[in-house]
Structure 1
């Protein structure tokens, strides 16, 4: 062991501390809520931001070999965060790596993976973290659900070689479960959170959440867990809930509760398309007061409408898309923190990741101002995974994660698709180095939708 092997190359690793780069002349929208600042310099030292100052006020003591990158006329925003992805249902290494490459070269510097085969995702997370492969940082969840959920074919896809419901990353929870042990097993996968999925009552969701928080790990949940309704999920204290259309189950007649994930009560689309339902008003207020992040995946159903292969499926997706737009707009107006998540990925020939479509949906269909949507995909995305101390804004001390744009994103959300380069943990990724569809090897790029 005197001469350990060097291991695999890490061409995308963060530069070492002491490597100083000055990004000068930017118009910076830093994500803090402050207005855009012109003629701004971002001083990067290694993987972190050392200072953000006016061009004429550079800090003293900069090394003589510091590199200067001229950004005159360009716009900078924080690195984007997709708060709902699935990289390994089922595992497919070439496909996952192609998605990760497109994401980071497209401005996405971090993602939440919302339950997968964590044997695979853990290796991908290590690879992007140490720089073996290009990609965003990956924060991921281990799943917990009631036993009835584990005949779902996706649970077999992510537990190949083992039995679904009995592995640390995918556990069936009953009244007999030793929750401290179950949470400890999930933590052992290096997961950021427990994902609470299906077939659990409100008391069990609350017990899982309390134990997870006691052990220092977050809880991410479906907005309705069946039989637990959205109000019970929020009251349990989870950190974030996913899928805005599931919030509609708070308005379902109490005489027709949903008994299980596979037996959801029908939604009255017409009733919810009008004025806000009083139960939803109360739910939004509770989410705002508790700081519960809504991972809306609002544009998911618009994508599903395009993927549908029957008139009935298209009509259902269209109705869900309208419901998603309505409820997301209501939640935003009520002060609920909304993150930008996708739950799918676009085909290989698309030049940018699905997050851009989600952000456009939030602007155009939900009526959220562009600046607020950028916030959804940056600081709120960071908050959705407990990482706001490290990322989400362009500030001294945080990771050097930011996107350089050729056009002003505040003028038009589509100007996000003018990426010049992406800095992730201080490593610069030039957009000109990216080739659409590279490394997919002909794989199908449809996402594994979680709903």
Structure 2
């Protein structure tokens, strides 16, 4: 080990010993002797070296072939495991920026980054606030993951929802560039252009949209080169119609039941009410089998649509309306979608009470995923769902240097995702004791 390596090793030890988070940055450096969790090959590559140049990965090679030199700083991380920086595919940071204060948003975003989350997808909020947060996170003015946010489109009926009124403060709900009421007479060229002009990375379709309106939104969005994300059912358009329209992801796996039950009132009465809690696992398995979702899963594979499952939302202890049947269906749909080969993303959608790591654990413990599959969900699949797979989500030459280093192997136990050594976002090193 040369003097420079010794100095940097000591520096990392100093960072590790501090009680506060710390950031350390230099332009060109090597991370030596690491074990790479390769989410492309589903394999662990032992004793590799990753070269970082500014904010990108410039080389990956076996450590035995790497020759250290004085032009590249070296950090020895022998025995550590590295995964792509985690991506939470479903967050909400600015539903009501007056209540969800900027200082609190910054606090939570910092905590997210220091747990290894390097990017998030915000699935509808006040784009005026999100644009500023996204800019500051990108340039490093705040300690936060990269933020990719949406503009929302829905039928006019949806915009009496109190959340939309809070999000549109200072304007009119349904008439904001980032929150637009849609009908067959809408100016789709202008509406999509205004949505894109907010700086959004995608358009989110939420509720009360017909198949015709869905098709028009997606076609125009493709012409203007902006991704479209959607709820899995839109209370008019069915899941199969949404999936085949050209969206890149759909959210909330339990909504796929509406392929069989077109209206909410069609949901079986014995799924609902207090008695539902007492139903056995066998009952729920039989009821789930009646849905016959195999064709939906095949359609998702055909159109390469990612399922943003959000198991965290309807956990029974949250006591949300009809949460029990939703959770029972949610975990079974997510389980079988994964088994069928559908790409499943990991999104928390929990108002940041829990982060994506908790969703990963639910995927393993409730939906039968292996730890490796959960890692793929929170990295590669979440990147595809967000539309950033070209530069994030995997550890490859040319991609952003967004990496999470762990002291223990997460493939052996998903709980090891919390055993953090250090985090790299956009080439900058962060550390938290």
Q: Which residue of 2 aligns with 1:397?
A: 398
Give the TM-score of the pair, scaled to structure 1: 0.84
Structure 1 equivalent of residue 29 of structure 2: 21
Aligned length: 398
Q: Hey, what's the Cα distance between the residues in 1 that align with 2:312 and 2:401?
A: 29
Pairing 1:81–2:87 present: yes
The 3-state SS of whatever aligns with 1:56 is: helix
Q: Deviations over 1:88-132 (max 9, x none)?
A: 111120121112101110010111110100000010000000000
Please say if residues 114 and 195 of structure 1, whose CA atoms lie closer than 8 Å, have aligned partners that are also in contact. Answer: yes
1:325 aligned onto 2:325: no
Aligned residue in 2 for 1:446: none
- Is contact 2:24-2:429 (8 Å) kept? no
Query: C-alpha separation between the residues in 2 aligned to 1:194 and 1:339?
Result: 18
Superposition map of 1:195-274 within 5 A: 195-252=204-261, 257-258=262-263, 265-267=266-268, 269=271, 273-274=285-286
In structure 2, what is the equivalent of residue 69 of structure 1? 75
Is the 8 Å Cα contact of residues 24 and 430 (structure 2) preserved in structure 1?
Answer: no
User: With structure 2 as the length reference, what TM-score do the two structures score?
Assistant: 0.88
Secondary structure of the 1:29 match is strand
Q: 1:174 to 1:345 in 2, by over 3 A?
A: closer
Paired residue secondary structure (1:191): coil
Whole-angstrom CA distance in 2 between matches of 1:278 and 1:97: 42
Q: How far 1:13 sits from its partner (Å)?
A: 9.5
52, 58, 67: which is aligned to 1:44? 52
Q: What is the distance in 1 between the residues matched to 2:212 and 2:184?
A: 10
| Structure 1 residue 136 corresponds to structure 2 residue 145 | yes
User: After the TM superposition, which parts of structure 1 deviate over 4 Å for at least 4 consecutive aligned residues?
Assistant: 11-16, 267-272
Instruction: Confirm or deny: 8 A CA contact 1:14 1:425 kept in the other structure.
Output: no
Measured after TM superposition, the shift of residue 277 of structure 1 is 4.0
Partner of 2:431: 430
Partners of 2:268 and 2:254 lie apart in 1 by: 9
Shift of 1:387: 0.9
Residue in 2 that maps onto 1:281: 294
Cα deviation digits, residues 38-89 of structure 1 (max 9, x gap) = 1111110110001111112126xx7624221111121111100000000111
- Give the C-alpha shift of residue 144 in structure 1: 0.4
Instruction: Please identify which structure carries the higher helix content.
Output: 2
Structure 2 SS opposite 1:116: coil
2:228–2:247 CA contact under 8 A, matched in 1:
yes
**Conserved 8 A contact 2:312-2:350:** no
Unaligned runs of 5+ in 1: 1-10, 348-352, 433-451
1:221-260 CA-partner distances (Å, limit 9, x unpaired)? 00000111111111212111000000011121xxxx32xx
Equivalents in 1 of 2:241, 2:404: separation in Å?
38
The answer as to whether partners of 1:293 and 1:337 remain within 8 angstroms in 2 is yes
Contact 1:14 1:47 in 2 (8 A): no
Task: Name structure 2 gaps, 5 residues minimum.
Answer: 1-20, 272-278
Question: Partner residue of 2:355?
Answer: 354
